[in-house]
Amino acid sequence: MYHVIAAAPAGVAFPDLFVRPADFKGQMSWLAQHGYHAVTLHRVYDYWRDGSPLPSHPIVVSFDDGYLGQHTHALPVLRKLGWPGVLNLKVNALKSRYTLPPWRVRQMLAAGWELDAHTITHPDLTHVDDAQLWREVHGSRTALQHEFHVPVDFFCYPSGRYDDHVVAAVRRAGYLGATTTNYGLARPRDIYTLSRIRINGSDGVAVFARKLEGLGR
């Protein structure tokens, strides 16, 4: 799980959300050298559902919210490896040229990325009324489908916040699964509350490697 791919500006509130482009490149090289292959979440889902084949050591590289560096820095690194990313896009991030305007998202899709929903305004979904919950969960899916003509089959909870009521809305909206900020390996029994491995700006390649090796493979 990545957020901003850029150097953290001095004094920024959450510097660990920023991963330096050189660190990202080093982390992806580490994966390639250690036999990993990035795949979309949909391919993992297909494997879990009916055993559709996956490459050895499959890993999903996901990017939350929709930040400019995910296009300018992450896309070229992954493209060189022939790997897709998974973009968990907040719909409102399409509105600014400083985040991810539609033309940038289209280039990512053209490179094989998967587009998944991450609401419209990024609220804590456990604290909104039912009308807003549905607008954020279902409305974000239809907005992205309408704009990009791709399935948008997975959902990512803003700030990892969910409860049974939120999960029920995600299922009702037709998503096949959803990702959280719970730390660990994704497992099929948690298809609507999949864990991920958070990568922090302070990790560099060494801690990144330790996190992956610590989970076993």
Round to whole Å and give the CA distance between 131 and 41: 28
Q: In this complex, which beta carbon is closest to Zn ion, that of residue 75 or of residue 125?
A: 125
CB-CB contact of 178 with 200 (8 Å)? no
User: Shortest Cβ distance from residue 64 to Zn ion (Å)?
Assistant: 4
Q: Greatest CA separation found in the chain?
A: 48
CB-CB contact of 66 with 87 (8 Å)? yes
H helical segments located in the chain: 21-33, 41-50, 68-69, 75-81, 102-110, 130-134, 140-148, 164-172, 204-214
User: Shortest Cβ distance from residue 55 to Zn ion (Å)?
Assistant: 28
User: Shortest Cβ distance from residue 158 to Zn ion (Å)?
Assistant: 5
**Region label for 150, one of left (φ > 0), alpha (ψ between -120 and 50) or beta (otherwise):** beta
Q: In this complex, which beta carbon is closest to Zn ion, that of residue 124 or of residue 163?
A: 124
CB-CB contact of 116 with 178 (8 Å)? no
Q: In this complex, which beta carbon is closest to Zn ion, that of residue 84 or of residue 158?
A: 158
User: Shortest Cβ distance from residue 179 to Zn ion (Å)?
Assistant: 10
Question: Of the candidates 4, 5, 65, 67, which one interacts with Zn ion according to CB under 5 A?
Answer: 65
Size of the site for Zn ion (CB under 5 A): 3
Near Zn ion by CB under 5 A, which window of 13-21, 26-34, 60-68, 92-100? 60-68
User: Shortest Cβ distance from residue 34 to Zn ion (Å)?
Assistant: 28
Q: Which residues in the 151-170 window bind Zn ion by CB under 5 A?
A: 158
User: Shortest Cβ distance from residue 171 to Zn ion (Å)?
Assistant: 20
Q: In this complex, which beta carbon is closest to Zn ion, that of residue 36 or of residue 120?
A: 120
Place of tokens 């996956």: 54
Collapsed DSSP state (helix, strand, coil) of residue 72: helix
Q: Residue 116, interface with Zn ion (CB under 5 A)?
A: no
Place of tokens 């899709």: 109
Q: In this complex, which beta carbon is closest to Zn ion, that of residue 40 or of residue 88?
A: 88
Q: Which residues in the 34-53 window bind Zn ion by CB under 5 A?
A: none
Phi, psi of 42, deg, nearest 5: -60, -35
Q: In this complex, which beta carbon is closest to Zn ion, that of residue 23 or of residue 64?
A: 64
Q: Residue 136, interface with Zn ion (CB under 5 A)?
A: no
Q: Residue 64, interface with Zn ion (CB under 5 A)?
A: yes
Residue 98 corresponds to which tokens in the numbers above? 């400083």
By the criterion CB under 5 A, which residues form the site for Zn ion? 64-65, 158
